[in-house]
Amino acid sequence: MSDRLFIFDTTLRDGEQVPGCQLNTVEKIQVARQLELLGVDVIEAGFPISSPGDFNSVIEISKAVTWPVICALTRAVQKDIDVAAEALKYARHKRIHTGIGTSDEHIRYKFNSNREEIIERAVAAVKYARKYVEDVEFYAEDAGRTDNEYLARVVEAVIKAGATVVNIPDTTGYCLPSEYGAKIKYLMEHVEGIHRAVISTHCHNDHGMATANTMAGVLNGARQVEVTINGIGERAGNTSLEEVAMIVKCHKDIGIETNINTQKIYPTSRMVSSLMNMPVQPNKAIVGRNAFAHSSGIHQDGVLKNVQTYEIIDPRDVGIDDNSIVLTARSGRAALKNRLHVLGIDLPQDKLDKVYEDFLRLADKKKDINDDDILLLAGADRSQNHRIKLDYLQVTSGVGVHSVASLGLDISGEKFENCASGNGPVDAAIKALKKIINRQMTLKEFTIQAISKGSDDVGKVHMQVEYDNRVYYGFGANTDIIAASVEAYIDCINKFKPD
Ligand code: KIV
Ligand code: ZN
């Protein structure tokens, strides 16, 4: 009999904390429904006290999904717990995730406190949360750098206080796999009552060891893993769901099972990447564009003779099928609808009609329409309600000539236009834009990326613009990269806080 490993997905909390990855409530619901289809056990839906948006998202996600436990994060503070309990009121299965820093660094510098007082606060928070819900998870923040003896005392105390799950985060991504595995083993062996709670891993990837550390935790007794889709998360990210799910599936010898429907992995990865405008690195394990591409002659020869020579995972097992690039200008509405459905998106008829029109327009410019393009089209109306829209753009550029751009904007229905020259087409277009939007703003970061390989591809542009001592993130996508750049700049401006 295999042991069950619970999958706790924190894409919508730890993942969403990444600058530029914020989703609105409708998008979060879309991701939550997809996570339910994927088969995750717990969805961490947000940190309700942190903002009205997070509070509202936890409420709406609680209403939208049925099977997974909905979890809300808090600090070890009564007000946080009150607000989390309120946000969870519609959840069929609910969990409060409360906790406090336990490393000496956190105790001294963050709380100006001492070890005994931290245990008291931890116990009080768990007891308080238990007044609202039966399922309380406790996190010992920075457990990775917390000494094991003290950590064991904290864990024992919170289990006695009623914690049903205890999370051992390697918050800074500091641990070696052997060290993290030994930490879990130490707890399993030294904490009285440990079997009354599930021990959970939560590993960050600062040293590129998040998945290795998570697996070391599992091999030593952890039975819940905290993960995100595509490994997104603060700094270098969190452990990625798809890696852990496929490791335990491939290594039957470990004797662990999850509830993940692995064929939903790829569509989920595409959806999260597209909604968050966060590209997946091409060589990312399991879901990267090159994860199953064999380019060396020796490998290709082997794979042609027998695919098992170089492939340990059948791409179909993670939902990558040969249909990933099938839509062209000749594809009908039904084919588009079907592809969107595979990608986890079911649109009402009017929205489908609009996406189909955009699809045909794009297909005129681009031969093959891939999943990323379709997800972009399906999400394109995200900018529809923006106050400032690009009306037209004309650029002249080339070698040996000055680039010149003229550009028109629609600002709340009023038309404005201007022109400028620059040291390149993007520079000229942005200078023209700045003549209309006359504010002190500085471009801090600018990346252009094509999704597939052709010169007809859709270019994605990510930008950061500083205005009034704040940095705003913007995104644009277009087969014309100058237009995509201007759209990304406008996206930033649309997010400026009002003066
Ligand atoms: O990394 C961390 O320690 C966390 C906790 C808040 C669970 O995300
Ligand atoms: Zn974290």
Q: What is the pLDDT of residues 289-347, one digit of tens each?
A: 888 875 566 666 676 677 777 778 888 899 987 545 567 888 888 888 888 887 777 88
Say which residue, 121 or 399, is predicted with more confidence.
Answer: 121
CA–centroid distance for 404 within its chain: 38
Query: Is the pLDDT reported for residue 358 higher than 60?
Result: yes
Q: Whose Cα sits closest to atom 1 in ligand 1?
A: 171
- Residue 44 Cβ inside 6 Å of ligand 1? The answer reads no
Q: Hey, which of 57-71, 338-352, 431-445 has the most confident mean pLDDT?
A: 57-71
Query: Is the pLDDT reported for residue 241 higher than 60?
Result: yes
Ligand 1 pocket test target in 139, 205, 224 with most atoms within 8 Å of CB: 139
Distance 395 CA to ligand 1 centre (A): 47
DSSP tag of 280: P
- Identify the pLDDT of residue 365: 79
- Identify the pLDDT of residue 373: 80
Are 70 and 43 a contacting pair, CB within 8 Å?
yes
State pLDDT tens for residues 83-114: 999 999 999 999 999 999 999 999 999 999 99
- Residue 138 Cβ inside 6 Å of ligand 1? The answer reads no
User: Which residues are registered as beta bridge partners of 409?
Assistant: 390, 416
Q: From CA 279, how far away is CA 294, in angstroms rounded?
A: 21
Are 125 and 99 a contacting pair, CB within 8 Å?
yes
Average pLDDT over residues 340-360: 85
- Identify the pLDDT of residue 298: 67
Positive or negative torsion for Cα 186, 189, 190, 191: positive
Residue 453 pLDDT grade (very low, low, confident, very high; cuts 50, 70, 90): low
What are the DSSP E strand ranges found in 106-242? 136-141, 165-170, 198-203, 224-227
- Identify the pLDDT of residue 448: 81
- Identify the pLDDT of residue 294: 59
Average pLDDT over residues 217-221: 98
